[in-house]
């Protein structure tokens, strides 16, 4: 029971069941304390601390401290470990992450001393969660993988599920949403088999969050509502705040701002009751962005400042970065350029510390090492099985030789030699297959390292230089009273072109960091571009249609995926610049054994027999040819234009 409780405590956000008669339960436990023996008193103090976690955090810490002092008096290491674990938990609930880390490390030190593997895993897990809340993902993820390896060794499915859940949570923060969904799915499979409704609610909520980031908002709403329903059935009204937050984000992204605002405010209300600065930092920033989209810049600034206050209170790097970004763009709209520049610099500082390529490389190496170790264990296991079979056969053959008659000696020896050679051949074949598998893994790792090295150079060198150019131009505009309109327009044009170059660079890095791009990834990328184009145009409306029969697990190479994205991007840009269209429609559909990507507008069109192709159309045809696709263009005066790429 102790182990199971700790696992529930140390997942991405904590859950406790307390009913309306919690105070009555506390009173009963306090009465029992007076007549109990020391070890029983310790467990009662922990139970009281546990109930107080969601009622009064100061009281919870008081009883956890009392339990620790009693464990010191008793001199029992196992009790000390449990006390430190509870102190670590109450510290992070109060937002005191430094104190929480100290308590978990004390628990870890005693666990390693007495070689208690399960509590070592619990301490690793606790440290991972605290570092995750601080935004130090290059520290939290290694702790989670350490936890996972221990639970795999113990064949502890519940512990593995909790580790998968936490790894998924941090991959979501790293914007590795597909990986996050993969690990969440592994976790959900285990919890479903165990019929653990509480954790099923949590995992459904996490999957909903990743789907929101991938732009699949309708599907996200289904997972969020499933999570919310589980919590309500379990009478965990407080914890509905988490799926309510994802519901708000979905509606916000679907531009249903009224529903989004209602759900943001409900989630803020629930988290305010329990004084949770981590969640309040995120929610207030989201609400500030909503007000920004509604052009209520004054309220956006007030709420954004509140979000930053919560983020700085707990030193949460990721939320300091996101809140600074919101405030920078909001104060720009309010023409307070001094404040805008201040927050822009703060955003650049903290954003680089979160998403630096070096950290991503470290985390990638951790997972690669974990997967390689699993392969090596499989190899050792197979070799052990082969050796055991050989030993068994040799023993059997020895008995036959001892009982056999002399006339059969030659036949038996021949039989043994034949079987031994057969086993050796079989063993050699298996070893060669395993070696080939290892070589393949090493090759993939080297390719991934090369990709990361190139993307790191692009991000650290070119990306930083482009950002410096933008910042320098904006400083010129804000720092000098430039009255020459031509110069002002030229500076604005250069700044805008540089920003667009950064977007193109990010797209390139996105493709390089993937060995393969799924249709779902590509669809999300195209959807975001179409949405941005729609927001930028006042005269043209956009439609994006994806064939519902098309399997979303279709996979392209990174070169194919990037070229398809660039073709659609170029086609939309051409239509916006030259077609004078009312509607631009982008479709992806399956046609027999092919995929068709089409951009169709109802603009003025042109005469194909007289028009001379420019760089844009030539680039589209060249990109299609490079990936083995066909490109057709149909247009007529006053009848619009259609560009279709078939792969």
Residue 383 scores a pLDDT above 50:
yes
CA–CA separation, 535 vs 212, rounded Å?
A: 19
Give the pLDDT band of residue 3 (cuts 50, 70, 90): very low
H, E, C per residue of 343-404: HHHHHHHHHHHHHCHHHHHHHHHHHHHHHHHHHHHHHHHHHHHHHHHHHHHHHHHHHHHHHC
Q: Which CATH number applies to 196-274? A: 1.25.40.10
Span 276-355 CATH architecture: Alpha Horseshoe (1.25)
Domain ranges for the chain: 1-13+20-187, 196-274, 276-355, 377-473, 516-646
Q: What per-residue confidence (pLDDT) applies to 357?
A: 45
> What is the average per-residue pLDDT within 425-432?
76
Topology given in CATH for the domain delimited by 516-646? Heat Shock Protein 90 (3.30.565)
The strand ranges marked E within 522-606 are 541-546, 555-557, 583-591, 594-601
Judge whether 242 and 270 are in contact, CB under 8 Å. no
Residue 4 scores a pLDDT above 70:
no
pLDDT in tens, 121-178: 999 999 999 998 888 888 888 999 999 899 989 899 888 998 999 999 888 888 888 9
Which residue has better confidence, 16 or 54?
Answer: 54
pLDDT in tens, 58-89: 888 888 889 889 888 888 888 888 889 888 88
Cite the DSSP H helix spans in 155-296: 157-173, 177-193, 197-213, 217-233, 241-253, 257-273, 277-293
Q: What per-residue confidence (pLDDT) applies to 303?
A: 92
pTM: 0.47
Give the pLDDT band of residue 552 (cuts 50, 70, 90): low
CATH of 1-13+20-187, one of 3.90.1150.10, 3.40.50.960, 1.10.357.10, 1.25.40.10: 1.25.40.10
Does this chain's domain 196-274 share its CATH topology with 276-355? yes
Give the pLDDT band of residue 276 (cuts 50, 70, 90): confident
Residue 375 scores a pLDDT above 50:
yes
pLDDT in tens, 302-352: 998 998 998 888 887 888 888 999 999 999 999 988 888 888 888 888 876
The alpha carbon torsion through 345, 348, 353, 355 (nearest 10 deg) reads: 170
Least confident among 101-105, 344-348, 424-428, 620-624 = 424-428
Residue 31 scores a pLDDT above 50:
yes
Q: Are strands 630-635 and 583-591 parallel, antiparallel or unpaired?
A: unpaired
Residue 568 scores a pLDDT above 60:
yes
Q: What are phi and psi of 639, to 5 degrees?
A: -125, 10
Sign of the alpha-carbon dihedral angle for 388, 390, 395, 400: positive
Mean pLDDT of the chain, nearest integer: 80
Residue 223 scores a pLDDT above 90:
yes
DSSP letters along 76-92, please? -HHHHHHHHHHHHHHHH
């Amino acid at each position: 029971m102790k182990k199971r409780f700790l696992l529930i405590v140390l997942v991405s956000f904590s859950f406790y069941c307390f009913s309306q008669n919690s105070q009555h339960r506390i009173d009963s436990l306090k009465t029992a304390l007076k007549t109990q023996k020391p070890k029983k008193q310790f467990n009662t103090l922990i139970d009281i601390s546990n109930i107080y976690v969601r009622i009064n955090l100061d009281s919870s810490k008081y009883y956890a401290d009392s339990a620790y002092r009693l464990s010191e008096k008793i001199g029992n290491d196992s009790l000390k470990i449990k006390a430190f674990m509870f102190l670590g938990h109450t510290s992070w609930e109060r937002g005191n992450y430094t104190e929480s880390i100290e308590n978990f490390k004390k628990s870890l030190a005693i666990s390693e001393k007495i070689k208690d593997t399960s509590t070592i895993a619990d301490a690793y897990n606790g440290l991972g969660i605290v570092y995750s809340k601080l935004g130090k993902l290059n520290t939290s993820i290694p702790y989670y993988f350490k936890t996972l390896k221990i639970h795999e060794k113990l064949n502890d499915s519940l512990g593995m599920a909790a580790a998968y859940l936490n790894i998924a949570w941090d991959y979501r923060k790293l914007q590795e949403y597909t990986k996050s969904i993969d690990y969440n799915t592994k976790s959900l499979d285990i919890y479903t088999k165990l019929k653990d409704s509480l954790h099923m609610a949590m995992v459904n909520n996490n999957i909903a969050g990743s789907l929101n980031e991938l732009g699949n908002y309708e599907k996200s709403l289904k997972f969020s509502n499933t999570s919310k329903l589980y919590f309500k059935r379990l009478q965990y009204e407080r914890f509905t705040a988490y799926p309510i937050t994802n519901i708000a984000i979905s509606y916000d992204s679907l531009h249903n701002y009224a529903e989004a605002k209602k759900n943001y405010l409900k989630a803020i209300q629930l988290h305010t009751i329990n004084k949770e600065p981590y969640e309040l930092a995120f929610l207030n920033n989201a609400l500030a962005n909503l007000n920004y989209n509604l052009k209520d810049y004054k309220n956006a600034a007030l709420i954004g400042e509140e979000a930053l206050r919560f983020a700085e209170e707990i030193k949460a790097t990721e939320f300091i970065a996101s809140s600074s970004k919101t405030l920078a763009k909001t104060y720009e709209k309010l023409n307070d350029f001094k404040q805008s520049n201040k927050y822009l610099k703060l955003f650049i500082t903290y954003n680089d510390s979160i998403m630096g390529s070096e950290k991503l490389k470290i985390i990638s190496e951790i997972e690669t090492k974990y997967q390689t170790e699993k392969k090596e264990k499989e190899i050792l296991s197979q070799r052990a099985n082969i050796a055991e079979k050989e030993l068994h056969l040799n023993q059997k053959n020895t008995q036959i030789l001892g009982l056999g008659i002399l006339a059969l000696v030659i036949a038996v020896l021949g039989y043994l030699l034949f079987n031994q050679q057969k086993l050796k051949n079989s063993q050699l074949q298996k070893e060669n297959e395993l070696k080939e598998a290892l070589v393949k893994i090493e090759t993939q790792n080297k390719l991934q390292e090369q990709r990361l090295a190139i993307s790191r150079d692009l991000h650290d060198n070119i990306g930083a230089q482009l950002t410096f150019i933008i910042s320098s131009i904006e400083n010129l505009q804000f720092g000098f009273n430039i009255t020459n309109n031509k110069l002002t327009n030229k500076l604005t044009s250069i700044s805008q072109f540089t920003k667009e170059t950064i977007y193109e660079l990010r797209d390139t890095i996105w493709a390089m960091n993937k060995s393969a791009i799924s249709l779902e990834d590509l669809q999300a990328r195209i959807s975001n571009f179409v949405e941005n184009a729609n927001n930028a145009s006042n005269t043209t409306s956009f439609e994006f249609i994806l064939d519902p029969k098309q399997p979303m697990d279709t996979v392209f190479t990174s070169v194919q995926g990037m070229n398809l994205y660039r073709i659609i991007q170029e086609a939309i840009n051409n239509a916006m610049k030259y077609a004078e269209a009312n509607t631009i429609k982008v479709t992806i559909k399956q046609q027999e054994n092919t995929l068709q990507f089409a951009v169709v507008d109802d603009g003025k069109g042109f005469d194909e027999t007289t028009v001379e192709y420019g760089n844009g159309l030539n680039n589209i045809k060249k990109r299609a040819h490079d990936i083995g696709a066909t490109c057709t263009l149909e247009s007529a005066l006053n009848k619009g234009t259609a560009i279709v790429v078939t792969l």
